[in-house]
């Protein structure tokens, strides 16, 4: 079963705008990872945030983690058309051990 | 260095045939994982190895699915007597050390069972 649930399922914005995607999960975790998948291509790792961290930055990406609410958010600032992709959160640890448990993803479309 | 590679990239087979999917992890990575991804869904865990030892195979859907990593490097996922419901993208990932590290994914093998 999928532990992570992304919200929204689909998001369409204009180039230059910010995009925020949320992820909720059910059980305790060791870390939470965000991945991007372009149409028909592989999964690319974006960022990992550990359970004892609250916020992390990487370039135009900002990830937050609230373990009390079992939720995370991914913010992409100043979006580009090339950011168009599906974004997945995946949790690792807790009862799921070493497996990554993925959500169903958010489809982001950035219009030029 | 090179990333995770998988072969074949595409496999079309007839129902009832056996297929073997290969994964070559990043050199030096201890852990290797197999996932299956249906269209429009996130990947679902199948099994994983630390070195040559299969640590968790609880995600394998039934006994037609098996995996091995005999020398702690390349892994093969075998599906016997394939069925149409086995059609999916099969993804392999590897990580440097146990469990808590970033998992790097290969391009996947698209399996179609006719």
* Contact yes or no for B56 and A98 at CB 8 A: yes
Q: How far apart are CA B66 and CA B91, in angstroms?
A: 15
Provide the number of CB pairs (under 8 Å) joining chain A to chain B. 64
Average of pLDDT values for A66-88?
A: 96
Write the CB contacts of B18 (distance below 8 Å, at least 6 apart in sequence): B78, B79, B80, B81, B82
Smallest CA–CA distance, residue A18 to chain B, in Å, is 24
* Contact yes or no for B105 and A102 at CB 8 A: no
Q: Which of A43, A93, A104 has the CB atom closest to B105's CB atom?
A: A43
**What confidence tens digit (pLDDT) does each residue in B3-54 have?**
999 999 999 999 999 999 999 999 999 999 999 999 888 999 999 999 999 9
Angle B101-B102-B108 from CA coordinates, rounded to 5°: 130
* Contact yes or no for B100 and A30 at CB 8 A: yes
Average pLDDT score over chain B = 93
**What confidence tens digit (pLDDT) does each residue in A3-41 have?**
567 888 899 999 999 999 999 998 888 899 999 998 767
Smallest CA–CA distance, residue A45 to chain B, in Å, is 7
Smallest CA–CA distance, residue A16 to chain B, in Å, is 27
The 8-class DSSP code of residue B86 comes to G
């Amino acid at each position: 079963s999928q532990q992570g649930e992304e919200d929204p399922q689909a998001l369409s914005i204009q180039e230059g705008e910010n995009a925020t995607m949320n992820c909720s999960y059910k059980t305790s975790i060791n870390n939470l990872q965000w991945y991007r998948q372009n149409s028909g291509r592989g999964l690319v790792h974006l960022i990992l945030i550990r359970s004892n961290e609250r916020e992390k930055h990487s370039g135009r990406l900002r990830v937050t983690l609230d373990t009390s609410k079992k939720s995370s958010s991914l913010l992409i600032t100043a979006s580009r058309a090339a950011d168009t992709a599906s974004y997945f959160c995946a949790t690792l640890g807790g009862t799921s051990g070493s497996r990554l448990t993925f959500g169903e993803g958010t489809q982001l479309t950035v219009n030029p | 260095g090179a990333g995770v590679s998988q072969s074949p990239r595409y496999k079309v087979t007839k129902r009832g045939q056996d297929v073997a999917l290969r994964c070559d992890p990043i050199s030096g990575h201890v852990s290797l994982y197999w996932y299956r991804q249906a269209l429009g869904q996130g990947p679902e865990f199948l099994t994983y190895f630390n070195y040559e030892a299969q640590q968790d195979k609880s995600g394998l859907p039934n006994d037609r699915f098996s995996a091995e990593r005999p020398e702690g490097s390349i892994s093969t996922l075998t599906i016997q007597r394939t069925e149409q419901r086995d059609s999916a993208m099969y993804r392999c990932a590897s990580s440097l050390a146990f469990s808590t590290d970033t998992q790097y994914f290969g391009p996947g093998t698209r399996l179609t069972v006719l």
